[in-house]
Structure 1
Amino acid sequence: MVRAVPPQLSPGGVPEGRDLRDIGHAIWHNLSLVIVVTVVCVILAGFATLVVAPRYQSEAMLRISSPEMESGVLGEAAEELGSLSLLGFAQDEIDTDLGVIRSRQIVAAVVDSLSLHLELGQPRVARDSVVDVISAPEDAIRGRYTLRHQTDGSWSAELNPKIGSRQRIEGIEPGVPFEVGGLVLAIADSPDLQPLEHIRFRVQSFRETVEDLQDDLRVRRQSGRSRLIEIRYRSRDRLLAASVVNSVVDEFIHFKMQADRFESRSTVDVLRDQTARYEDDLRAAEERLREFRESAQLIDLKAQAEEQVAQLVSFRAERDAMIVERQALANLLADLDAESEGTSSYRQLATFPSFLGTSGIQQILQSLIQLETERATLLIGRTPESRDVRGLTERIEELELQLLSLGSSYFTGLETRIAAMDAMLARFDEELASVPEREVEFVRLARDQELLTEIYTFLQTRLKEAEIQEATEIGDVRVVDSALIAEEAYSPRPLLNLGLAALLGLLIGCTVVIGREVSGSRIRTPSDALEAAAGLPLLGIIPTESGPGSRTGRLKLRWGPELQSGTGTGLVVRNDPGNPLAAAYRGLWASVSLATNEIDPLPRTLAVAGVTGDVGCPSAAANLAFTFAQQGFRTILVDADLHSEAPLRLGSEPSQKGLMHVVEGFVGLSEVLVEVDAGANGTSLSWLPTGTLSPASAQFVSSARLLDFIEKLRKDFDVVVLHAPPVDSPGEGILLSASSDATLLVARADVTDREDVRSAISLLQRQGTRILGLVLTDAPTNGARLSRNGANA
């Protein structure tokens, strides 16, 4: 016989914890719950959409500008900067206007002009189409008003106030004004009102209405640096929505114009007072200057003073230049005297800046260069002591001494000129110091007169601008778009509401599933199974079926047609050997073989029992038995679960007689035994079905004859695989498992509770049952992954 070694699982058999695939698996298994929650949310949203009254939105757009910012130097500077908001105060000005629009003064004026504290309840139409509000003062009686249509065509009005007694008025004719509760109303004379039986409206507190409108009014700047302001309002009355927005615009423009007119008038008054005062001061200053000029007999003192100052500056500049030149020449002469080579270097005086333009000095310099050239030519063929060479040398020394004499003479001349300039500057200082005090007074008076003239001219200009602005009355608010009557309701939006409800339903459904996944007590993953197994090994992980035979993504675990040949994937190791499910069952056989090798003697009977019903125990027992047969073991599969509602099908239709009839001696074993071909390399699998069940089935499982029959099968077969009843069945499953050499316990993901696994293990261990380990069916495939070759990865 061939012995297979089981594949190695990851440490601990399965990875720790849950990942996104676990959650996806849980959501897929509970997809019906998610769908139900989503459908409920969509239905509720649809009902709310039908019940909620439609609301209409109207909006207007204003452009805020400042005349001072759009004209003059300030406006030009703003254009250079590219945006008024960059100037700082334009931002604050628009923010202030936003606050003004939402202010109580503007909103209260709108409420009063439109009588918004009178709210129509029924019918749900435009208020002005049924009632004409002639007067609705702030102190109108608060309460509920009902207008009832009488049989004679007239109307009656009934007031149910919050405080006070009821009032009732009869005989109200359509189109005729009537008074009730301080209101003056007129019922619209329209044929559309004939079918109406009553009209209901209420009057609330004027202050509460103002506060509600402040909350409902939406005022915002269009963008960060924009000067466009949007005003929005929503109401069940489409006419009223547009009227509110346009009324807010009108009240704001009126407020701005009144404020600008008051500001302009105040500015004109102030400028006129200041101009008159400075005009008197200017006249007095001019008169004082005229009287002083006549008494002092002065001409243009200012021109004289400016000429003297200009001469003084010129002389001082000239003296400073001579001092600099003298110092430079003195330094040059001192350097030349300090040289050790005598007078041979005095020719450097010819390069002094003041001598560069002197023709005499330049001629001497040219003569020196010519003599130097001639002497150099003579020295080629003669010695320095020759008469011609000495003559040229003496001539060169004379010319250099002549340069020194000219430089010394020029230096002496500079000294003399500087002394003369100092004397002249001293005389100028004396002349300036001797300016009469009346001349200083004249300068002061002239200065005061010029200052007053400039101030007076500025005030005259500003006064003319203010008078023009006051006369034109051009405001700084422009209506870009007026509010229009909405044609379609802004809310509710059926498609948007249903879409959001569907998303919300999906979110709620997934949240519920994830909550159950995290906090539930059912086994979700292989790690949960290991935790519940209390130290027992996890021998097999049978994944969720995902092949073409599955519609729901769940493993088909029930008895019946799923295990028939060619119909379904129950006996997957024969019908589809390359399927991952077949690989999982081969891995289960390898793990069971490895576990049984540690038992001496080798167990001949192996019970496969579910923790509870519907955990995939039939598929596990059938595929495990078939795998034993494929490996060459003489194997028999005994269907001992008499509580199953549908008998097992492994091929041809079995006889109505089965296990109970064989044990009772009604038929022989060979008459009911079904042989299932296990392939060329293996032996056939013998299958003993349950047969037709009877009321005595429960007592039959625990009978001694059944135990004797199983003992007989041990002698005839290598392996006896018992499909035992669930452990939670009334005693039968425990007794049958306890009578076997070893038991394989089966649990199902998302179905079996952890506590049920612990209880089943405890019950079997108390009966002395040898439990090989646990098998988890319908498990998520992210635990021990399965490949096509049958190995657990």
Structure 2
Amino acid sequence: MSKNDIEPISGPIWPLAPQPQGDLALAGDWGQRSYGIGSGFGDLNLSTILRIASEWRWLILGAAAVAIAVAIVVTFLTTPQYRATAVLELNPPAVEILEDSMTKSGGNNDQQYLSTQYGLLASKSLAERVAQEMNLASNESFVSAEADRATRVKIATAILSSNFEVSPVQGSRLVRISYSSPSPDLAARITNSFADNFINANLERRYEASSYARQFLERQIATIKGDLEKSERELVAYAQRQSIINTGASQGQPGQGGGAGSDTASIQGASLLAMNQALAVAQARRIAAEQRYRQMSSASTTAEITASTAPMRQWRAQLEAEYQNKLSSFKPDYPDMVRLRNQIEALDQQIKREAGTVAGGNNASLLAEFQAAAAEERSLQERVEQLKSTVLNLRGRSIQYNILQREVDTNRSLYDALLQRYKEIGVAGGVGTNTVSVVDPAEPPGGPYKPNLVLNVLIGLLVGVLGGMGAALALEFVNDTIKTPDDVRDKLRLPSLGVIPKKTSEEALADELKEQTSPISEAYFSLRTSLQFTTETGAPKSLLITSTRAAEGKSSTTLALAQNFARLGNSVLLIDADLRKPAFVTGVDPNEGLSKLLTNSDPVQNHVLKTQVENLSLVPCGPIPPNPAELLASPRLKAIISEAMNHYDMVIVDGPPVLGLADAPLLSGVCRGTLLVVESGKTRTKAAVDAVNRLKAAGSHIVGAVLTKFRHQAHGYGYGYGYEPYKYGGIGSREREIKLVAQREG
């Protein structure tokens, strides 16, 4: 190779498929923005989970493999367990304690009964009964013989309870009971013992319930009998004190006619009833006699009275006519007028006497009959009034009597009912349909039900996948790096101008960029297009390309962009401004380059080298100075960039990393735009944020960021990648060099 050849390189480039980015607007105020670890991780969605699962697939697969291995080992080390099952039928009880109180199965009562039976099946008392019935406390294969008898019984009971299961059959009164044991025969015997002891316990409870009911009824009967006798004595004593005598009607039921609550139940009441009836008869006789008397008086004597008094009536009429005739001439007090009035009145008296004499002879007998009937009626009326007073007095005294009578009747009814129920309990106590029956007894199982290898492997797989995914999420949360274009926008608040995929082949970058259909070439084409839309006039005329730390693909991006813009026909000048560890080295005299231009007033063209790429020129680094920051801080740098912009369509500056050095901020201040290169999955968010803040503090215009070394499936995570300032090294410390064929202009 001739001395005019240049061999530059950057480290490997990681990326995503080419993807144009349109979000070019800067957002947020970085001077005031606070940053927290894991910011942006809260937007957890399906795509994020799939991405994390793909990135950490080996961790998840490893966790699943370990979990499956553990499940297999546990399966083979676990003692086989045999489970015997019996089926029981539960029916609600049909024996009632009190009359008309039979419980009908169904509804809430049926469900409550079944739930109670399930609880009794799983009770500790039933397990203890089985342990004692099978004498498991003395079985050394079941319980260790070191403890005393009581302790062994407790241990056996605990073992039975822990291995016994009750499983109701939904929608029925059937229940499955099962017991698990290393011995199939023992499992079947214990299950059947549970069923038998449960049936026996139910029968004993029913017998005890009947016995309790009899004892309860006996006590109640004795109490009610004493109350009945006491109330009867009080009733008789009160009747004697108050002289209350009831007729036979008083034996009727209370509240009915003629009963103890009726006025006719007493002698006085009965007499009043009889006298009322007699008074009604007397009133009827008196009314009949009076009617006959009046009819006879008005009908038979009218004609006789008229014939006897006719002359007197005629005379009276004449006097009345004369009186009326003179009244028009004389006043009523005139003597003749007074005399005529006295004569008329005398005739009226005489006519009445004559009529009475005629009528009295015919009605004498009827009048006597009428008067006798009226006298009898008055006598009976007086007697009735006396009896009314007596009955009302008796009614007041009978209030307490009726109260005592009702108490006697109530006690007698309770006594008769309890006595009848006691007889029924005595005859039917403990007899009836059993509420529990065995449908299918337990038989020794043909094989173990656990451990189940397939189930354990599936559980292990599920646990491993979930555990691996949880670990991946935790590591993703803890590993605070820029991984995706969304992180660039959300965490750095910069436009994501492009995503460069990771270079997978061993081919040199320069050779891969020649293949314009390769993913990396397409990604850089997309980045070039995005840069052309960052300003109103297109891509920035002077562009600084820098990164947060070393080995993020900064120099590779610089070369790719320079070549792409040169292919468009633009004259491009590439300036290697990394005065500490330059990326572009040449075989020419190292005294030519940027470091020399910064220390003299030579024209820029004197230090420009042609490359093998058409329209692309290079200003190399030149001799590595002892004080790069001081050189870059001189006004000469701005003059060099301005002179280069006058001769070339575009000036691309390859700068050093930002953190730990003052070089990149100084360079960004004299360039019209700055492009930040971020390595996917390696650049820490906090470091990138600090780099952006430093660049903005220097007055640079950050047009956006490009994500390099991006992989679809996974991102390489790690720690300790921070840039070490002041130990940047020389040319020989680079892993690779980017070679350009350089020719001196002119």
- The normalised TM-score by structure 1 is 0.49
Q: Which has the higher contact order (CA 8 A, sep 6+)?
A: 2
Distance in structure 2 (CA, Å) of the matches to 1:297 and 1:625: 134
Aligned residue in 1 for 2:721: none
Which residue in the other structure is 1:660 paired with? 586
Q: Is the 8 A contact 1:257 1:473 kept in 2?
A: no
Deviation (angstroms), 1:777: 0.5
Which residue of the other structure, out of 214, 218, 230, is the alignment partner of 2:161?
Answer: 214
Judged with a 3 Å threshold, the aligned counterparts in structure 2 of structure 1 residues 498 and 227 are, in CA distance, closer, same or farther, namely: same
Structure 2 residue aligned with 1:109: 129
1:40 is matched with 66
SS in 1 for 2:707: strand
Give the letter aligned to residue 27 of structure 2.
P
* Partner SS for 1:777: strand
For residues 109 and 686 of structure 1, do their structure 2 counterparts lie closer, same or farther at Cα, with a shift above 3 Å needed?
A: same
Is the contact between residue 271 and residue 463 of structure 1 (CA under 8 Å) also seen in structure 2? no
2:498 to 525, 542, 545: 542
Name the CA shift for 1:773/1:47 in 2 (closer, same or farther; >3 Å). Answer: farther
- Equivalent AA in structure 2 for residue 30 of structure 1: W
Matched residue count: 524
Identity, in percent, stands at: 19
* Kept in 1: contact 2:575–2:653 (CA 8 A): yes
| Equivalent-residue separation in structure 2 for 1:595 and 1:703 (angstroms) | 37
Distance 2:668 2:589 in 1: 19
Counterpart residue number, 2:469: 510
Alignment equivalent of 2:152, drawn from 177, 187, 205: 205
8 A contact 2:225–2:415 mirrored in 1: no
For 2:131 and 2:571, locate their aligned partners in 1 and report how far apart those are by CA, in whole Å. Answer: 97
Contact 1:539 1:775 in 2 (8 A): yes
Distance 1:641 1:740 in 2: 15
Cα separation, 1, equivalents of 2:622 and 2:135: 88
Q: Which residue of 2 aligns with 1:85?
A: 109
Paired residue for 2:203, among 257, 262, 265? 257
2:679 equivalent to 1:748: yes
SS in 2 for 1:74: coil
> Aligned partners of 1:765 and 1:258: how far apart in 2?
91
Asked if 1:246 is matched to 2:177, the reply is no
CA contact (8 A) 2:82 2:184 kept: yes
- Aligned with residue 569 of structure 1, among 519, 531, 543: 519
The residue number in structure 2 matching 1:141 is 145
- Letter of the 2:707 counterpart: T
Distance 2:380 2:59 in 1: 114
Unpaired runs of 5+ in structure 2? 1-21, 34-38, 240-244, 278-376, 592-606, 633-639, 713-746
Give the equivalent residue in structure 2 for 1:455.
415
> C-alpha separation between the residues in 2 aligned to 1:265 and 1:749?
85
1:114–1:593 distance in 2 versus 1, CA, 3 Å: farther
1:26-55 CA-to-partner distances (Å, cap 9, x unmatched) read 444333333333333333333333333343
RMSD, matched Cα: 6.6
Q: CA deviation at 1:425?
A: 6.7
Letter in 1 for 2:679: R
Residue 600 of structure 2 is matched in structure 1 by: none
Instruction: Provide Cα deviations, 1:231-287, integer angstroms capped at 9, x if missing partner.
Output: 44333333333332321221122122223234434555776898899999999999x
The one of 401, 411, 428 equivalent to 1:468 is: 428
The gaps in structure 1 that reach 5 residues or longer are 1-5, 121-126, 128-132, 144-162, 164-181, 183-202, 320-417, 546-553, 574-580, 648-657, 676-683, 691-697, 782-793
What SS is found at the alignment partner of 2:681?
A: coil
* 2:566 equivalent in structure 1: 629
1:68 equivalenced with 2:95 (yes/no) = yes
Distance between the aligned counterparts of 2:547 and 2:189, measured in 1? 75
What is the distance in 1 between the residues matched to 2:24 and 2:456?
A: 53
Q: 1:621 to 1:264 in 2, by over 3 A?
A: same
Query: CA deviation digits over 1:502-555, x for unaligned, max 9?
Result: 34333333333333343333224568658997xxx846432376xxxxxxxx78
SS of 2:437's equivalent? strand
| Deviation at residue 572 of structure 1 after TM alignment | 0.8
- Relative to the length of structure 2, the TM-score reads 0.52
Instruction: Pick the structure with greater CA Rg.
Output: 2
| SS at 2:419 equivalent | helix
Matches within 5 A, 1:410-421: none
Quick one: distance in 2 between partners of 1:515 and 1:95? 45
- Equivalents in 2 of 1:100, 1:217: separation in Å? 13
The within-5 A match list for 1:604-683 is 608-612=545-549, 615-617=552-554, 620-629=557-566, 631-635=568-572, 660-661=586-587, 673-675=611-613
Report the CA distance between 1:752 and its aligned residue: 1.4
Which residue is equivalent to 1:237? 183
Distance, in Å, in 2 between the alignment partners of 1:298 and 1:100 is 62
1:196-595 equivalent positions in 2, closer than 5 A = 205-219=152-166, 230-265=176-211, 267-268=213-214, 302=251, 305=258, 309=264, 426=385, 429=388, 452=412, 455-456=415-416, 459-470=419-430, 472=431, 474-487=433-446, 489-524=448-483, 538=494, 540-543=496-499, 559-560=508-509, 562-565=512-515, 568-572=518-522, 582-591=525-534
Is the 1:106–1:251 Cα contact (8 Å) retained in structure 2?
Answer: yes
The CA distance in 2 between the partners of 1:760 and 1:445, in whole Å, is: 108
Does the CA contact (< 8 Å) of 1:734 and 1:763 recur in 2? no
Map of 1:785 onto structure 2: none
Asked if the contact 1:672–1:688 (Cα under 8 Å) also holds between the matched residues in 2, the reply is: yes
